[in-house]
Structure 1
Amino acid sequence: MVIEHASPTLDDVARTAGVSRSTASRAINGGDRVSPEAQTAVDDAVARLGYAPNRAARSLVTRRTDSIALVVPEPDARILTDPFLAGVLRGVSEGLTGTELQLVLLLARPGEPPGHIARYLRSGHVDGVIVASHHKEDQLESELMRSHLPSVFVGRPFDTESLHFVDVDNASGGRTATQRLVDRGCRRIATITGPLDMTAAVDRHDAWQHTLEDADLPAVAVENGDFTVAGGAAAMERILAQHPDVDGVFAASDLMATGALQVLREAGRQVPDDVAVVGFDALGAERTTPRLTTVLQPVVEMVTSATSTLLDVLSGADVPAEPQIFVPRLIEGESA
């Protein structure tokens, strides 16, 4: 005959600690009005009995879910192929090390109407949210400000007045990339932008334009991409068709630069002798041929910092309103 031993209850903890049930509950759930002596007695009782709080019951009392969401408003296929998004996942994982928080991953589905993810977040399923790779039309900024749900953006939001965020200095990185091409002697420098409903893409494009204007060079060869290899390849084909004398390309991501390199190779253009190429991210640049010259975006460190900021907000700590901005730097390869 198998004898099943019942799991210890909150009443068992209170009895062992010599305190009331309500005191034991407050001590376990991190409430106030618990003396140091009572807290120590409850902690000892929990350890001796092997008591595990019922998360569902506790959430009814504390209104906490012990979960945070990572929101990536991109199709799920991008998670598997985009090294930036893989770095985002790694950064959140490292940031949650040592905590008991559960991670909820929210991705955009094809055809999903704007605001769908925001409505889910407003419904109380999570305690806080980290947002990465967001677009203006996602409506996440306005919805999160209205809901007052603790949130941190990876990448500058369009509305920075009341939202926490971490970012790389995209303007500085864009200038560094473009200036590298100018210093090399390129005089007909094109750019492949990211989606211009994202602040990172806007900042990198504007930096390219301003750098060329400062060098008295034309800033006319612009094609939009989507931060993918295929998007970079299609944009490079359009550039060669419209500006066949191009001798330099700043691609606003390494994936788009990879697509550009493929098209240049198929067109018989030697890199960097005929056309020099600089990317942005330093994520997988060493796997291109030739090895890509690029601008480092420390995505894992950025997201780990964003996660730490969110944890501070959830704990009630005094979190500075100023964003955390990481400094980019050029990683020399063989493409420029």
Structure 2
Amino acid sequence: MQASPRRQPTLDEVAARAGVSRTAASRAINDDPHVSQAKREAVRRAVQELGYVPNSTARALATRRVGAVVLAVSSDEPTLFADPFFAEVTLGVSSFLEQTDLELILLLAHTPRGTERLRRILAARRADGLMLMAVRGEDPLGRLAEQTELPVVFGGLPLHGTPRWYVDPDNRGGGRLAAEHLARSGRQRIAMITGQVDLQASVAREQGFREALTLAGLPLLAVEAGDFTLRGGESAMERLLAAHPDLDAVFAAGDGMALGALRTLRHRGLRAPQDVAVVGFDDLASAPYADPPLTTVRQPVRSLGREMARMLVDVIDGRDPGSLILPTRLTVRESAPTPAPRADAGQAR
């Protein structure tokens, strides 16, 4: 005779075993912060003793959550997540979400098809919140963020407007650090390779760099766009050398572009830093292994992802965290070393 399937315990039985009301049991199981620790512990023991398994559909309705968040990047580049910068951001997001029950949905959303896919996810509420990266000037992702009722955290400020919740590195301050270092090094003919002109990070880094050069009494010789890629940095460096063969320093607003600039210098038979000093921005894992090792402005890339996820979870849980600016600092290596002290430094005059 076939045994009948074992009956699953009910929420009422859990409540009775824990000595609490059905409502209190439900709230404890769904991690309601207003349930006392004593009741939460009693319900936890009852769940374990009875082998109670919450109904996922009922739980989602009770909490109005689906257990997923989206990280959408405004890019149509299929190899984007092989980019060290975005790989680090994603690792940071994932490392924080591992402490929660939330799943991560990664989405490239720069194309019309990608934007429509994100719109459907938001309209159907198949996610509890959204993180946006690399939002450009007139980006449809920005409009979607304005229209959705779900919480949205920006990784980096958009070019126009200031969102309610964002995490951003101190791009402007980092640009100033690069300029101050090159000025202290005695460089006089200084150029810059910037990223996409419709990204706030590009604009802010250039602003900070220009400001510090002006305070040092130095002009910015030229600016070329390099789209934050190694190949873009190579091409931009070629154009700079063609127009200004006597330049003696370049600030690339991303490590990938800085590595491209170094490659072009080698192909041209020029040395860094003897002929041209090179400073990057990011301090990615590849920077110490460049030829020569790259002086660069360090931004906490993995922390950027982790803080985005932390902020989004706070908002989902009903809190209203303040936005966050992460500090940057200069890491000095051989591509633009600290100048040696003068031999007569400290001598009496």
Structure-1-length-normalised TM-score: 0.88
Q: CA RMSD in A?
A: 2.6
Cα 1:219–1:114 change in 2 (3 A) is: farther
- The 2-side partners of 1:11 and 1:297 are apart by 52
Contact 1:130–1:152 (CA<8 Å) still a contact in 2? yes
Q: Please give the secondary structure, in 2, of the residue aligned with 1:69.
A: strand
Q: C-alpha separation between the residues in 1 aligned to 2:95 and 2:219?
A: 44
Contact 2:121–2:127 (CA under 8 A) maintained in structure 1: no
For 2:329, the equivalent position in structure 1 comes to 329
Q: Is the deviation greater in 25-34 or in 241-250?
A: 25-34
Question: Of residues 285, 288, 293 in structure 2, which corresponds to 1:286?
Answer: 288
**Is 1:246 equivalent to 2:259 in the alignment?**
no
Rounded to whole Å, the distance in 2 between the matches of 1:116 and 1:200 is 26
Please name the residue that 1:102 is paired with. Answer: 103
Q: Distance in 1 between matches of 2:61 and 2:33?
A: 17
Contact 1:141–1:159 at 8 Å: present in 2 too? no
Q: Is the 8 A contact 1:257 1:278 kept in 2?
A: yes
CA distance in 1, matches of 2:217, 2:86: 37
Instruction: Write the distance in 2 (CA, Å) between the matches of 1:191 and 1:225.
Output: 10
Query: Which region of structure 1 is more displaced relative to structure 2, 37-46 or 197-206?
Result: 37-46
Using the alignment, how far apart are the partners of 1:2 and 1:181 within structure 2? 82
In the alignment, the residues of structure 1 paired with residue 71 and residue 108 of structure 2 have an alpha-carbon distance, to the nearest angstrom, of: 9
Of the three residues 278, 295, 298, the one matched with 1:296 is: 298
Compared CA separation, residues 137 and 318, structure 1 to 2 (3 A): closer
Correspondence 1:188-207 to 2 at 5 A: 188-207=189-208
Question: Are the equivalent residues in 2 in contact too, given 1:171–1:204 (CA < 8 A)?
Answer: yes
Q: Which shifted more, 110-119 or 30-39? A: 30-39
Letter matched to residue 292 of structure 1: L
Over residues 262-287 of structure 1, what are the superposed CA-to-partner deviations in whole Å (9 max), with x where a residue is unaligned? 11100111111111100000002012
Measure the CA separation in 2 of the matches of 1:109 and 1:154. 15
CA gap 1:194/1:39 in 2 versus in 1, 3 angstroms: same
What percentage of aligned pairs have identical amino acids? 46
Question: Bigger shift: 197-206 or 48-57?
Answer: 48-57
In structure 2, distance between residues paired with 1:217 and 1:188: 8
Q: What pairs up with 1:11-22 in 2 under 5 angstroms?
A: 12-14=13-15, 16-17=17-18
Distance 1:19 1:110, change over 3 A: same
Q: 1:145 to 1:242 in 2, by over 3 A?
A: same
Question: In structure 1, what residue type is equivalent to 2:210?
Answer: Q
- 2-side partners of 1:15 and 1:297: how far apart? 53
Task: Classify the secondary structure of the residue corresponding to 1:246.
Answer: coil
In structure 2, distance between residues paired with 1:34 and 1:168: 37
Structure 2 unpaired stretches of 5+: 337-349
Deviations 1:298-336 (A, max 9, x none): 11122212221211111112423xx21122111011001
Q: How does 1:168-183 map to 2 (within 5 A)?
A: 168-183=169-184
Which residue of 2 is the match for residue 185 of structure 1?
186
Equivalences, count: 333
- Looking at structure 2, the residues matched to 199 and 309 of structure 1 have their Cα atoms a distance apart, in angstroms, of 21
Change (3 A) 1:35 1:305: closer
Deviation digits for residues 45-69 of structure 1 (CA, Å, limit 9, x no counterpart): 2121232323233223432111111
1:137-171 per-residue CA deviation (whole Å, 9 max, x = no partner) reads: 33333322332311211212335544211111111
Q: Distance in 1 between matches of 2:54 and 2:160?
A: 40
Cα distance change, pair 314–268 in 1 and its aligned pair in 2 (3 A): same
Q: Which amino acid aligns with 1:168?
A: P
Query: 1:34, CA displacement in angstroms?
Result: 6.9
Give the whole-Å Cα distance in 2 for the aligned partners of 1:329 and 1:38.
48
Conservation of the 8 A alpha-carbon contact between 1:88 and 1:132: no
- Alignment partners' CA distance in 1, 2:2 and 2:259: 63
Match of 1:76 in 2: 78
Unaligned runs of 5+ in 1: none
Cα separation, partners in 2 of 1:238 and 1:161, compared to 1, 3 Å: closer
Counterparts in 2 of 1:217 and 1:112: CA distance versus 1, 3 Å? farther
* TM-score normalized by the length of structure 2: 0.85
Instruction: Measure how far apart 1:219 and its partner are.
Output: 2.2
* Cα displacement (A) at 1:9: 4.3
1:325 and 1:112 map into 2 onto residues whose CA distance is: 32
